[in-house]
């Protein structure tokens, strides 16, 4: 049986209220008495009743994280960053995977809300007026990452549109005349693609600035990809995420097509797997540690009722490799 506050009070010959003040670092108690009570609690191996604490403080010290899945290392790295920052602030995370299903996402969000999670960080796949209204009615602090829902919820991300625009300009500066964009959305088509749509829009803007014709492939067709290398026109493939870039590099390697001498490749996210890929694929470092830290910090302020700011954009950097 765990030791109770009453038993500590009897052991120290003080009131239960005095023990409560000592254990919860409240005023109205001398430092000498507080030290004696804390020493007794340690000696008796006192473990606080978390349910009672939650009821007393109105806080579960838990935040929810809702993500589509973990197959992309970018998302696992970002969740790890959130968890590290949560732990440093005395919080635990409760992870819900929606498997890229808007209905499962809402089900998971309601699950977290019913368990009085203090706040939720969402990598949303849902969108639309009805979805937005349902989240607002929960009356719980929410921060979004990756995909944006609306102005109603603070969004933390990098500037995907600007990045892709600059990526096109950088590839063009290396002498590539044909820059192909793989706009592959292999998941449920009826879901939130804000981040990927921003990347595609940036590609189009970059191509217009360079006076180049857009060449967008929206279905992963291996025969079409294998037909792209050309001796007359330098061609590069721009991918909206690294997993797609790795898959494409493996396809060319399998068929003996040299990168970058016959075709160039660039990814996006700079996942750690790239360190084991030869040639090292050029990418974009999205600063996942800062993204996770910022998202949690804003959520913490929202929980405390102190955050009234707008969306936050995090710095990024291009990572050089040997694939362009």
Coil, strand or helix at 154: strand
Averaged pLDDT for residues 179-189: 86
Alpha carbon dihedral 108, 114, 115, 119, in 10-degree steps, equals 70
Which residues neighbour 305 within 8 Å (Cβ) at sequence distance 6 or greater? Answer: none
Stretch 32-37: mean pLDDT: 90
Average pLDDT over residues 185-204: 90
* Non-local CB neighbours of 19 within 8 Å, separated by 6+ positions: 5, 8, 9, 12, 37, 41
Give 281-310 pLDDT, tens digit per residue. 999 999 999 999 999 999 999 999 988 778
Any idea how long the chain is?
A: 324
HSE value, Cβ hemisphere, 13 Å, CA-based, for 204 = 9
pLDDT in tens, 117-175: 999 999 999 999 999 999 999 999 999 999 999 999 999 999 999 999 999 999 999 99
- pLDDT for res 129: 94
Phi (first) and psi of residue 310, to 5 degrees: -105, -165
Q: How far is CA 115 from CA 54, 85, 109, 137, 295, in A?
A: 11, 22, 10, 16, 21
pLDDT at residue number 203: 98
Within 10 A of 126 (CB to CB), how many other CB atoms are there? 24
Q: Model's pTM, two decimal places?
A: 0.83
Confidence bin at 49 (pLDDT 50/70/90): low
Could you give the CA distance from residue 324 to residue 152 in angstroms, rounded to a whole number? 40
Distance CA 5, CA 20 (A): 7
Distance CA 272, CA 187 (A): 23
User: Is 179 in contact with 138 (CB distance < 8 Å)?
Assistant: no
- Cα distance between residue 97 and residue 57, in whole Å: 29
pLDDT for the residue numbered 53 = 58
Cβ contact 311:155 at 8 Å: yes
Q: In the sheet that 312-313 helps form, which strands lie side by side, from edge to edge?
A: 92-97, 62-67, 119-122, 142-145, 154-157, 312-313
Dihedral (C-alpha) 182, 188, 190, 193: value to the nearest 10 degrees? -40
Span of 7-11, 92-96, 253-257, 266-270 with lowest mean pLDDT: 7-11
Answer for the pair 202, 238: CB distance below 8 angstroms, yes or no: no
Is residue 55 scored above 70 in pLDDT?
no
Helix (H) or strand (E) holding 31: helix 31-43
Q: What is the mean pLDDT of residues 76-104?
A: 94
What is the per-residue pLDDT for 7?
A: 87
Record the tokens describing residue 186, joined without a space.
Answer: 């292999």
- Please determine, for residue 190, whether its predicted confidence score (pLDDT) is greater than 70: yes
**pLDDT at residue 51 above 80?**
no
């Amino acid at each position: 049986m765990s030791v109770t506050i009453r038993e500590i009070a009897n052991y120290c010959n003080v009131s239960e209220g005095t023990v409560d003040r000592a254990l919860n670092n409240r005023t109205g108690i001398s430092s000498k008495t507080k030290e004696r009570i804390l020493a007794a609690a340690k000696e008796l191996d006192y473990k606080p009743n978390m349910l009672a604490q939650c009821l007393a403080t109105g806080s579960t010290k838990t935040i929810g994280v809702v993500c589509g899945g973990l197959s992309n290392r970018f998302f696992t790295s970002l969740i790890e960053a959130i968890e590290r920052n949560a732990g440093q602030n005395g919080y635990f995370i409760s992870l819900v995977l929606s498997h890229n299903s808007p209905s499962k996402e809402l089900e998971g969000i309601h699950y977290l809300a019913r368990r009085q999670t203090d706040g939720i960080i969402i990598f949303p796949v849902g969108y639309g007026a009805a979805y937005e209204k349902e989240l607002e009615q929960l009356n719980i602090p929410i921060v979004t990452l990756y995909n944006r829902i609306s102005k109603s919820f603070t969004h933390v991300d990098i500037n995907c549109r600007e990045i892709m625009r600059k990526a096109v300009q950088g590839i063009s500066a290396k002498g590539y005349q044909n820059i192909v964009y793989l706009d592959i959305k292999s998941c449920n088509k009826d879901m939130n693609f804000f981040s990927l749509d921003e990347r595609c829009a940036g590609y189009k803007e970059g191509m217009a600035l360079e006076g180049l014709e857009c060449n967008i492939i929206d279905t992963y067709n291996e025969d079409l990809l294998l037909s792209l290398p050309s001796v007359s026109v330098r061609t590069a493939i721009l991918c909206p995420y690294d997993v797609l870039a790795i898959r494409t590099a493996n396809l060319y390697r399998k068929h003996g097509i040299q990168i970058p001498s016959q075709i160039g490749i660039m990814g996006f996210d700079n996942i750690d797997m790239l360190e084991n890929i030869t040639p090292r694929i050029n990418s974009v470092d999205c600063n996942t540690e800062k993204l996770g830290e910022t998202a949690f910090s804003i959520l913490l302020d929202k929980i405390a009722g102190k955050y009234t700011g707008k969306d936050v954009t995090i710095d990024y950097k291009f990572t050089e490799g040997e694939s362009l």
